[in-house]
Amino acid sequence: MKPVFSVLFFLLCHEVFAQKSLLSKPITVKISNERLDQALSTIGHKGGFSFSYNPTDFDLTRRVSITASNAAVREILDDIFKGSVSYKERARHVILQKIVTPEKPKDILINGYIFDRQTGKRLAKASIYEKYTLVSAVTDSSGRFRMRLPAGTPTPRLEVRKGGYFGTSAVVVNGEPLEISLVALEMEEKRPAVVTQLKPPVKDSLKVVAPAPLPVLVASADTNVPPAPKRKLDLEKVEKNFVDAFASAKQAVHINNIQDTIYRAVQVSLLPFVGTNHVMSGNVINSLSFNIFVGYSGGVSALELGGFANLVRRDVHGAQLAGFANLVGRNVYGLQGAGFANATLKNFDGIQAAGFMNVTGGHFRGLQLAGFANATLGNMSGLQASGFANVAAKKFNGLQVSGFFNYAHVHKRGLQISLFNYADSSGALPIGLISYVRRNGYRRLEIGTDEMNYGNLTFKTGVAKLYNIITMGSSFGITDKPLYTAGYGVGTSQKWGKGWRSNFDFTFNRIMEAANSFDSANGIFYRASIGIEKRILGRVALYAGPAWTWLTARPNYLKLDPSQIYSPFPTQSLRNGLELSNWIGFQAGVRIVSLDY
C-alpha cells in the first residue's frame, strides 16, 4: 500500500509542477510569415498546451516570423508581443490578456466670448489668462477667444482684463463655452460736461463755496499771447514707446490691459516671449531671470543674466548683467552691468557700469562708470567716470571725471576733472584745461601792460578758487621787445571786502619773433604775479601788482634796463647756449569782471 501511495504522490507533484512551468518550458520552433493566430497554435502544439484570449484584443492577421531553439515559451511570447500582453496559466492553458495603457489626460480646450455688460457689445482685444500656467489669449474682432490649458491644471480659473473695464474672473466647468461680461469704469474724462447757471455763494458749516469767475476775453491789437510751455521729456510716453518697440502685438495688448502683479521665482527664455513665461513675460516679476539671448520681463527682484540683452518694463532690485545691453523702463536698485550700454528711464540707486555708455532718465545715487560717456537727466550724487564725457542735467553732488568734457547744470559741491568743464552754476572745484561756470563763476577780460609787453589781452575763466588763464601780448615791433607772446596758466583769487580782491597767477609763455614762429630758441618764460583788484564802476575794475619772471633765451635777447628791474638771482648759462635770467617786474591794467562780488 505504501509504494502505491508514493507513486500517486509523485505523479501528482509532477502534474502540478508541469502546470506551473508552461511558460518556462523550452521549445524549438521556426515560424515564417504566418498569421498571429496560426503562430500561437504552432507554439501551443510544441509546448503541449493551448492559448486562451479575446480575439478582439489582437490583430490576428498580423504576420509573425520567429526562430527559436530550446527557448522558453515566455521568451518567445515576449519577442512576439513586445511587452504589450500579460500571461497567466490555468491547467493546460496560457491566457493572453492585452495590457491596457491608461490614456493620458487631454488638454482643456476653452472658448467663449467677452462682452460689455451694459451695452452687450462684444469686446475685441481683451486679455484672458490663467495665472498658474500663464496660458493666455486675446479676443478677436468679434470678442471671441480660444485657449488650451495643460491637462491636470487644478481648478482652472480665468482672469479677464481690458483697459477701461473692471477685471473679473471665471471658473472653467467641463470645458463648456464661456460668456463673460465686463463692467465699464466710470472715467471722468468720458463724462459729458454739465453746464449750470451761476448761483450765490453757498455757506455751510465747513466752508464757503464761491462761483468761479467767468473768463474775460478782450480783442485788441496789443493782446499778449502767453508763450507756449517748454516741452519736457515725457517719461510715460518714452516708456510706452519702449514697450511697443519690443513687445509682440499680443504682448502689447496684455501690457495695456493687465495691471496685476504676477510673481515667479525663476524664468528662462531664449527670446522675448519665447520662454517659461510665454507671452505673459512682460507682466511677470521674476526673482531669478536667465535669458539665453534676449529676455523681456515685467521686473526683477534678485538677479537677471542675459547673453545679449535684458529688457525690463518696470523695476530691477538686485543685479542685472548682460553681454551687450540692459534696458529698464522704471527704476534700478543695485548693480547694472553691460558690455556696451545701460539705459534706465527713471531713478537709479547703486552702480551702473558699461563698456560704452550709461543713461539714467531720473535721479541717480551711486557710481556711473562708462568707457565713453555717462548721462543722468535728473539730480545726481556720487561719481561719474568715463573715457570721453559726463552729463549731469540737474543738481550734482560729487566727482565727475572724464577724458574730454564734463557738464553739470548745478554742481553743488565736489570736483570736475577733465580737459573741458562746464557748469551752469557751481560750488565745486573744476580742474581742467578750460573750465567755465556761467552764473556764479569767475571770469575776467583784462587789458593791461607790463615790463615785457606794452599791451596784453588776457581771459580768465573758472571759479575763484581755481581758474584758467589764456593770455597774449605784444610790443608792436618795438626794438629789444618781443613781437608777440602767448601763454596759458592757472590762478586763484581771494575776496577781501566790497569791491576788493587779490589774485595769484602763474603762466607759461612763448615768445614769437615773427608771425607763426614758435621756435623754442625765441625764448620761453614763466611768470608768477600777485595783483590787487578794485572794482570802480559796474563791471569795470582796475588791477596792479608785482610779477616775477624767469626767462630762457639767447644771451642778451631782451635788453632790459637793469636800473629799472631787480633780479633776485644771477643769470645762469645753460648747456644749450641759452641763458636763464629772472627779474621782478610789474603788471597793471583794467578788467571787465563777472558779477561774483
pLDDT tens digit string along 127-155? 998 888 888 999 999 999 998 888 777 77
C-alpha cell at 281: 513675460
Residue 43 lies in a domain: yes
Q: Do 411 and 454 have their domain in common?
A: no
C-alpha cell at 173: 466647468
Burial 116-144 (b: 16+ CB within 10 A, else e): beeeeebbebbbbbbeeebbbbbbeeebe
Q: Indicate which CATH number applies to the domain containing 450.
A: 2.40.160
Domain count, the chain: 4
Q: Do 446 and 546 have their domain in common?
A: yes
R_g of the chain, CA atoms, integer Å: 47
Q: Do 116 and 144 have their domain in common?
A: yes
Q: Could you count the other beta carbons within 10 Å of the beta carbon of residue 199?
A: 8
Q: Do 397 and 446 have their domain in common?
A: no
Q: Do 432 and 461 have their domain in common?
A: no
Select from 171, 166, 163 the least CA-distant residue to 182. 166
**Cα end-to-end distance, the chain, whole Å:** 144
pLDDT for residue 207:
36
Domain termination residue (choose one: 98, 123, 156): 98
Q: Do 465 and 490 have their domain in common?
A: yes
Residue 13 lies in a domain: no
Contact (CB, 8 A) for 374 and 390: yes
SS (H, E, C) 54-91: CHHHCCCCCEEEEEEEEEEHHHHHHHHHCCCEEEEEEC
User: Dihedral sign, CA of 560, 561, 566, 567?
Assistant: positive
| H or E stretch covering 255 | helix 249-257
pLDDT for residue 579:
86
User: Has residue 215 got a pLDDT over 50?
Assistant: no
Taking the C-alpha atoms of residue 133 and residue 128, their distance in angstroms, rounded to an integer, is 12
| Residues 297-306, mean pLDDT to the nearest whole number | 95
pLDDT digit string (tens) for 340-374? Answer: 999 999 999 999 999 999 999 999 999 999 999 99
Which DSSP symbol is given to 107? P
> At residue 328, what is the residue type?
V
Cα–Cα distances in angstroms (integers) from residue 538 to residues 129, 436, 542, in the given order: 73, 22, 12
Taking the C-alpha atoms of residue 548 and residue 584, their distance in angstroms, rounded to an integer, is 5
Which DSSP symbol is given to 254? H
Q: Do 153 and 282 have their domain in common?
A: no
| Residues 400-419, mean pLDDT to the nearest whole number | 96
Domain termination residue (choose one: 391, 415, 437): 437
Backbone angles phi, psi at 63, to 5 degrees: -85, 140
Residue 35 lies in a domain: yes
Strand partners, 436: 422
Backbone angles phi, psi at 375, to 5 degrees: -145, 130
C-alpha cell at 15: 502534474
User: Has residue 265 got a pLDDT over 90?
Assistant: yes
How many secondary structure helices (H) and strands (E) does the chain include? 5, 43
Mean pLDDT lowest among 10-14, 280-284, 564-568 = 10-14
Q: Do 115 and 160 have their domain in common?
A: yes
pLDDT digit string (tens) for 379-401? Answer: 999 999 999 999 999 999 999 99
Q: Could you count the other beta carbons within 10 Å of the beta carbon of residue 384?
A: 31
Contact (CB, 8 A) for 126 and 257: yes
Residue 203 lies in a domain: no
* Neighbour-count burial of 41, counting CB atoms closer than 10 A to its CB (0-12 exposed, 13-18 middle, 19+ buried): middle
| H or E stretch covering 464 | none
Residue 212 lies in a domain: no
Q: Indicate which CATH number applies to the domain containing 89.
A: 3.55.50.30
Strand partners, 376: 360, 392
C-alpha cell at 218: 478782450
pLDDT for residue 58:
87
Torsion, CA 368, CA 374, CA 375, CA 381, rounded to 10: 30
Contact (CB, 8 A) for 147 and 82: no
Q: Do 321 and 451 have their domain in common?
A: no
Select from 397, 355, 387 the least CA-distant residue to 376. 397
Contact (CB, 8 A) for 110 and 172: yes
Domain termination residue (choose one: 167, 183, 199): 183
pLDDT interval class at 228 (50, 70, 90):
very low
Residue 176 lies in a domain: yes
Contact (CB, 8 A) for 553 and 511: yes
Q: Do 168 and 80 have their domain in common?
A: no
Residue 196 lies in a domain: no
Q: Pick the more confident residue, 535 or 563.
A: 535
Taking the C-alpha atoms of residue 272 and residue 6, their distance in angstroms, rounded to an integer, is 84
Domain containing 30 equals 19-98
Mean pLDDT lowest among 25-29, 201-205, 432-436 = 201-205
Q: Do 94 and 113 have their domain in common?
A: no
Q: Do 338 and 463 have their domain in common?
A: no
Residue 209 lies in a domain: no
pLDDT for residue 477:
75
Torsion, CA 507, CA 418, CA 397, CA 425, rounded to 10: 60
Q: How far is CA 151 from the centre of its chain?
A: 38
